[in-house]
Amino acid sequence: MRRLDRSWTRPRPTRHQVRTDVLIGIATALVSVASVEVYASASGASMGWKGVEAYLWFGLVGLALCGRRRFPLTVLLLVSAVFVVIGERLLELGVVFTVQMAMFAALYAAWAWSRAPRALWAVTWLVLIGMFGWLLWSLNNGTMAPLGEQTGLLPPKVALVIYSLAINVVYFFGAIAWGQSAYLSARRSAMVADQRERERAVQGLEQQQAVQMERVRIARDLHDVVAHHVSGIGVQAAGAGRLLESRPDRAREALTAIETSSRQAVSQMHQIVGLLRSDDEAPSADRGPQPGLADVEALAVTTERPAVVVDVVGTPFPVPDTVGLSLYRVAQEALSNVRRHSGATSARITVRYLTDSGERPAVEVEVLDDGPTRTDPSGESGGFGLDGIRERAGMHGGIADIGPRPSGGFRVRVRIPVDQEDA
């Protein structure tokens, strides 16, 4: 009975579908009238009242199909009634293929497009009982076909009944099965479309939440990384004001410190504000310090897949808080991608302090895994992903190298130059 489930209400046909039905109905009416003329010319069959009755009934059958999707049950009842009338009044024309096709199409459309399950069952049973009852009555009265002498295993009348019933069972129930199949196919398509729409809505919400979280993070950075420079400037300025006349050398030192702090504050503020997407204010309840390079080791995990190892190469030196925070986020995001998109069993995070002669000192974070990659980490996942990593690198004038490794697995490497005096 699951195959006959009608719990889903199919949407009404579109204007385009209605226009198509009208054109098909008109074309069917013309073809039906033409088929009657051809058949009658070949067989000499009677055309009924004043020689035009057949044209009227066959034309009506075709025109009825204009509403097969808008009014499927009404069309089924009308076509069934005309089918019986043709069989009674114009017996010889009842075998013309166009009226047979119209009856099949009406029953198919009822099961494919009806939006009233109870009415569908009632009309279907009414049509089936009426059609098969009329068929048996016609066979019993000998109006269907003349019977000859018995030449086979079965008496002619029994054989005719069996043959006619078999054909009509296939005919009527075939139309019902085809229509129900079309209904179920439309329901599956609608469910898939609805699921995709829900997924797009959820994805859009997740993207908005990710943007909001990023704004909150930047607000925290502005408070925790820049505020101490501003407060230090206030303290130094107050001290310089008191020492300006009595100890000018000390006042000069304080003013120099103010200059350095203000330059660092402006530089770091520009870097942080560069990530802002809008001017919306995002309140933050948590004003604690943000993680830095020293916290990368806390990402090491060996008790779950993938096992994570953290290496530190080179002699550590002080780096600006914004750089340390960005590199920490790079390692965190890259490791999250490994868990979300890769079947890797192990990952390695390497922090490198680079002080080669002739080049500016730099700090590098590299995350490697042994793959394989199950899904594309650059695809839409509701967050910033690899684009966010590239943004962090570019914000500090660094470079990002992201992609699959020739030997397998995936690599994320970010290098950021550092000025020691800004640290």
Predicted confidence (pLDDT) per residue in 77-122, tens digit: 999 999 999 988 887 888 888 999 999 999 999 999 999 999 999 9
The verdict on 269 and 388 lying in the same domain is: no
Residue positions counted in the chain = 423
Residue 198 identity (one-letter amino acid): R
pLDDT, tens digit (0-9, with 9 covering 90-100), for 356-371:
756 789 999 999 998 7
The verdict on 135 and 266 lying in the same domain is: no
The verdict on 38 and 93 lying in the same domain is: yes
The verdict on 81 and 33 lying in the same domain is: yes
Does 70 fall in a domain?
yes
| Structural domain ending residue among the three candidates 144, 169, 186 | 144
Which pLDDT score, from 0 to 100, does residue 64 have? 95
Cα separation, 253 vs 127, in Å, equals 103
Does 361 fall in a domain?
yes
The verdict on 416 and 306 lying in the same domain is: yes
Q: Collapse the DSSP code of 305 into the 3-class scheme (helix H, G, I; strand E, B; otherwise coil) and give the result.
A: coil
Does 135 fall in a domain?
yes
The verdict on 309 and 225 lying in the same domain is: no
The verdict on 240 and 107 lying in the same domain is: no
Count: domains in the chain: 3
The verdict on 258 and 392 lying in the same domain is: no
Q: At residue 56, does pLDDT exceed 80?
A: yes
Q: Give the tokens for residue 167.
A: 């054909």
**Secondary-structure breakdown of the chain: helix, strand, coil percentages, each rounded to the nearest 5:** 65, 10, 25
Alpha helix positions (H), 114-155? 117-141
Which pLDDT score, from 0 to 100, does residue 250 have? 78
Q: Give the tokens for residue 110.
A: 């009822």
| Structural domain ending residue among the three candidates 144, 170, 196 | 144
State whether the Cα torsion 279-282-283-288 is positive or negative: negative
Q: Give the tokens for residue 347.
A: 């990952």
Does 197 fall in a domain?
no
Residue 107: give the domain boundaries: 2-144
Does residue 123 or residue 360 have the better pLDDT? 123
The verdict on 259 and 307 lying in the same domain is: no
Q: Collapse the DSSP code of 399 into the 3-class scheme (helix H, G, I; strand E, B; otherwise coil) and give the result.
A: strand
Tell me the CATH number at 269.
1.20.5
Does 279 fall in a domain?
no
- What value does the CA radius of gyration of the chain take, rounded to a whole number of Å? 41
The verdict on 267 and 298 lying in the same domain is: no
Does 170 fall in a domain?
no
The verdict on 7 and 133 lying in the same domain is: yes
pLDDT band at 63 (very low <50, low <70, confident <90, very high): very high
Q: What is the pLDDT of the chain when averaged over all its residues?
A: 81
Phi, psi of 82 (to 5 degrees): -65, -35
Tell me the CATH number at 307.
3.30.565.10
Beta bridge partners of 353: 363
The verdict on 133 and 228 lying in the same domain is: no
Does 190 fall in a domain?
no
Which pLDDT score, from 0 to 100, does residue 277 have? 45
Does 192 fall in a domain?
no
Q: Give the tokens for residue 389.
A: 């990593």
